[in-house]
């Protein structure tokens, strides 16, 4: 990989003053890509929920829904 400098190059960028400043009314150059911006990751865990916690959450939601359904039926009768 080649190192990419995050500093703008005034001789290649239009609208820049000497020293890299931008005159009033000009749009600054776009941000460049920085491939070396973060640490090197060797372990990327899988994304998503494990089956156990997801099952427990779904059972809990079903129990709460059943409780409110039963409560509504008791109030109606």
Rounded Cα–Cα distance for residues 67 and 61 (Å): 10
- The model scores a pTM over 0.75: no
pLDDT band at 9 (very low <50, low <70, confident <90, very high): low
Interval 23-55: pLDDT, tens = 776 765 565 555 566 677 777 777 777 888 899
In whole angstroms, what is the distance from residue 48 CA to residue 54 CA? 10
User: Taking a C-beta distance cutoff of 8 angstroms, is the pair 16, 30 a contact?
Assistant: no
| Secondary structure letter of residue 42 according to DSSP | S
Give the DSSP letter string of 39-75. Answer: PPPS--PPPS--HHHHHHHHHHHHHHHHHHHHHHHHH
């Amino acid at each position: 990989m080649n190192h990419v400098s995050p500093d703008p190059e005034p001789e290649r960028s239009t609208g820049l003053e000497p020293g890299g400043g931008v005159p009033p009314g000009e749009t600054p150059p776009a941000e460049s890509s920085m491939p070396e911006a973060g640490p090197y990751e060797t372990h990327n865990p899988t994304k998503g929920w494990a089956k156990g916690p997801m099952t427990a959450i779904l059972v809990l939601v079903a129990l709460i829904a059943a409780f409110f359904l039963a409560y509504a039926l008791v109030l109606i009768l």
